[in-house]
Structure 1
Amino acid sequence: MTRSTHAVLAQRRILVVEDEYFIAHDIAHALGRLGAEVVGPAPSCEDALALVTAEHLDAAVLDINVRGQTVLPVAEILAARGVPFVFATGYDRGAVPVAFRSVPHWEKPFNPDHLARALPEVLPRRTR
C-alpha cells in the first residue's frame, strides 16, 4: 500500500532553514500545499537553533550555508534527537561532512515541489 504524500505530510511540523527569501518561500509553499505545518523559515543559524530547541519538529530542510555560517550544529542536534532532515543546498555532496553523507541531498537549483513530494521518504511512519 502506498502512502499519499499529502497524508504523510499532513500536520507534520517541518523546519525550513534557508537564507534566500524566494527559495525559502517556495519550499514553504510547496510543503504547505501538501499539508505540512512549516516552522520558520529560519534565515539564520541562530534562528534555526532557537526553533530547534523550542519547537516540536517532525523533519527539517536545511541549507548548508546560511548567511555565511554552517548549519551543521543544527544538523547535529536534529540527528541527536532522531529528527530526520534533508540538505537543500548549493553545495555538491562532496561538501557534506562524512557523518552526514547518508542524509538526502538536493542540490540547487531544484524544484521545491519535487523536494516536498520526496520528503515523506525520510519521515517515519505514523503509529496510531
Structure 2
Amino acid sequence: MTQQGDKGRVLIVEDSPVIAVDAEQRLQDDGWFVVGPAYDMDQAIDLAKREQFDAAVLDLNIRGEKSFAVMQILHERNIPFLITSGYADWSMPEEWRDRPRLQKPYKLGSLVGAVCELAGADQPSDG
C-alpha cells in the first residue's frame, strides 16, 4: 500500500466543497499529497505562486471568476494542469485550448488517471 504523497503533490482549485473533498480523498487514496484545496482565487493564486507540486486540477470558474490567472502562473512555472468545468460551453482563450480537460460531473477514477498522466506517475490500479 502506498503512503500519502508517494506519487507526488497535486494542487486542487475547486469552489465546490463537496467536489473538492471527494477529489482530495480519491487522490490521497491513490498516493497523492493534496495541496489545498483552494476554494477562491486569492487562495489559488497564493498557493500557485508559493507551493511546490507536480500537477494541478483547476476548476475553470471559481466563484464567478475564470481561473486564467492561476493557469498563467502554472504555465510560467512549467507545472502541468487539468481544467475542469460543469459548463457545456467551454469558450477558452487560444493559449489554453490545448490543455487537458474534464467535464463535470466526472468520475473520480478519471480525475486520478488524468492527474497521473499529467505528472507521469503510475496509473491507479483500479483504472
Shorter-normalised TM range: 0.7 to 0.9
Aligned equivalents of 2:88 and 2:101: distance in 1? 8
User: What count of residue pairs does the alignment treat as equivalent?
Assistant: 119
Aligned to 2:125: none
Aligned to 1:105: 101
Q: TM-score scaled to structure 2, two decimals?
A: 0.85
Q: TM-score scaled to structure 1, two decimals?
A: 0.85
Aligned to 2:43: 47
Aligned equivalents of 1:87 and 1:115: distance in 2? 10
Indicate whether 1:30 and 2:26 are aligned.
yes
Deviation per residue, 1:21-47 (Å, 9 max, x gap):
100011111110110000000000110
Task: Report how far residue 123 of structure 1 moved.
Answer: 1.5
**RMSD in angstroms over aligned alpha carbons?**
1.9
Task: Report how far residue 93 of structure 1 moved.
Answer: 6.3
Q: Moved runs in structure 1, 4+ residues, more than 4 A? A: none
* Higher normalized helix content (fraction of residues): 1
Indicate whether 1:17 and 2:20 are aligned.
no
Task: Name the SS of the counterpart of 1:37 in structure 2.
Answer: strand
Identical counterparts, % of pairs: 36
Q: Which runs of 5+ in 1 are unaligned?
A: 1-5
Q: Which runs of 5+ in 2 are unaligned?
A: 122-127
